[in-house]
Every structure is written in structure tokens, then in C-alpha cells.
Amino acid sequence: MADAAISKSVARPPTLGARIKRFVKQYGWSYGFVLPSMLTFTVFTLVPVVWSVIISFQEYSLSRGGVWVGFDNYVEAFTTQSGVFVVALRNTAYYTVVTVTANIFIALILASLIQPLGKIAQTFFRAAYYLPAVTSVVIIAMTWRWLYNTEWGFFNYLLSLVNLPPVRWLSDPNIALNSITLSTVLTIPATGVVLFSAAMGGIPQEYYEAAELDGAGPIQKWWNITLPLIKSTTLYLVVLYTIASFEVFEKFIVMAPSGVGNSTQTIVTQIFQNGFVQFRYGVAAAQAVILFLIIASIAIIQFRVLRSDVEY
């Protein structure tokens, strides 16, 4: 009987308090290190995101609080102001398709040209091409605004040399969006060049040597070896550039603050106008949720199309 009592007491599971104490003693120090980051994320990211979703279903005012209106804000986002939000969606989609395609293509070409160079030359060009990434977007936008200036801009100066009339690059509704899009295309995709270059450098040389033995030329090796083996990097950059393009704001607000007859309105400029100019917080929050759903849907499609199981 005594042995059975001892066995029963030994097999008894520890209490909740004992388990918590043991967990804190074993893992408490590690959770203490991540606690500041988790608190910062919760206060400045998670709570605002959840609150914005709640506000999107309310007619919200800083003085009166919120009144539940259901999906009225989502309907209003598309129907009010003569459908400006629909125009903004179309402008943003156009800007995204052109700039993402151009950035990926230009980054691939530049990284491929850098790869055959020596280590010192590769480091130099990677650092040189990465400079735009550490430069403020506002500074870059102001520089392009000067280049596009109608009266004394550099581009119109070049046109005057061949006796062509000046072009209203940023004030003509027919070309303003194309002008801003062109400025992005002509800005070196710094992150893409560096990441593609690093990915190409990680491909084993044996693959290229085997292809040479089979008589493959440089273009064939690039198409059949390089591109498939950097597919995961391509996916990452496509998603990254897509998110950045859909969230573009600074460049448009600096280069064309008036919107040029809504021809340069984007989703984020519309969110800014509704939330911080007209104080229509519910509509702005609804547009922000719509933007999130669009980006998430496109990202899922991109992952399904470009995902790769290749390992080397």
C-alpha cells in the first residue's frame, strides 16, 4: 500500500502554477529579449491595423466617435467624388504593371552584365547601383520634378536645342502619369540589381561548364540555367516591387500635388485625401482595406505562378 501511494504521488502531473514557473524559468529570458519588439509591433502596427478595419465599418469622427454603418463606406469609396477611386485604381494598376516589369527586366540585365566581372568590379558596381536605395524618395522626386519643369527643365532644354516646343510633362493630363512612370523606370532598381547579382553568384559553376560541353552559348546558358535557378529571388522581387508600386505616394504627391485633373491620382493619395484632408476616416479606412485585399490577392497569385522547388 505504501509503495502504491508513493507511485501515485510521483505520477501526479504538476500544477498549472508549477508549469508556468518552470516555463518562465526555462524560457523567460528569451521572451524578455523579444518583448520590446513585440510591444512595439503590437502598439504601432497590430492595433492600428485592427482599428482601421473596425473604423472601415463606421462613420467615425474624432469628436463623436464611431457609428456602425456596415458596408456603406465601401460602397461610398467607389461611388462618391465622381468615381475618383476607380480612376485611382486604374492609374495604380497601370503604374504597377509598367514599373514592376521594367524594374525586374532592368535588374536582370544589369546583374547579368555585372556577374562576369572580377570581385572588385562587382563590388564597385553593386555599391554604385545601390545608391538610389539609400537616397530619399522625396529628393529623387524633386530632382525629376526639376528635370520635367516646363519653363527651365532639362528635358525641355534638350528639346529647345532641336527647335521643338516645350512639353508640359507634369501638367498635361494626357502625359503626366506616363512622365511619373518613366521617372521610376529610369531610376536604377537598386535592390533588384544587388539581389539578382548575389543569387547569380550562388549558382554552382559546374552547371555552366556542363552546358558549355554540350555546346550551349551565353544566351542559352542564361535562359536555361540562370533564370530557372534564380526564380525564388525573382518571386521575392516581384512581390516586393508590386507592394511598393501599389503603395506609391511620395513621388506622386511631390511631382504632381494637384493630381492633374485626377490623371495622377493613386490609391494611397486617395486614402490621404479622404483621411487627412476631408477627415472621412471611415471611407479612408475602407479604401485602405481594399488596398490590402488587392495586394494580398496579387501576392497569392504571384506565389502560385513563380514558386519554385529547385535546390542547388
Quick: pLDDT tens for 116-164. Answer: 888 888 889 888 888 878 888 899 999 999 999 988 889 999 999 999 9
Long-range contacts of 280-283 (CB under 8 A, 24+ apart): 281/55, 281/60, 281/61, 281/62, 282/55, 282/56, 282/57, 282/58, 282/59, 282/60, 282/66, 282/69, 282/72, 282/73, 283/73, 283/76, 283/77, 283/80
For the segment 217-221, the average pLDDT, to the nearest whole number, is 87
Write down the pTM of the prediction: 0.86
Residue 6 has pLDDT above 60, yes or no: no
The label of the residue with cell 490621404 reads: 272
> Residue 227: CB partners within 8 Å, gap ≥ 6?
108, 234
The domains found in the chain, sorted by start residue, are: 2-50 (no CATH), 82-306 (1.10.3720.10)
When pLDDT is cut at 50, 70 and 90, the band that residue 7 belongs to is low
**Angstrom distance (rounded) from CA 281 to CA 288:** 10
- Write out pLDDT tens, residues 186-218: 988 889 999 999 899 888 888 888 888 888 888
Residue 166 has pLDDT above 60, yes or no: yes
Q: What is the pLDDT of residue 309?
A: 59
Cβ–Cβ < 8 Å for 187, 140: yes
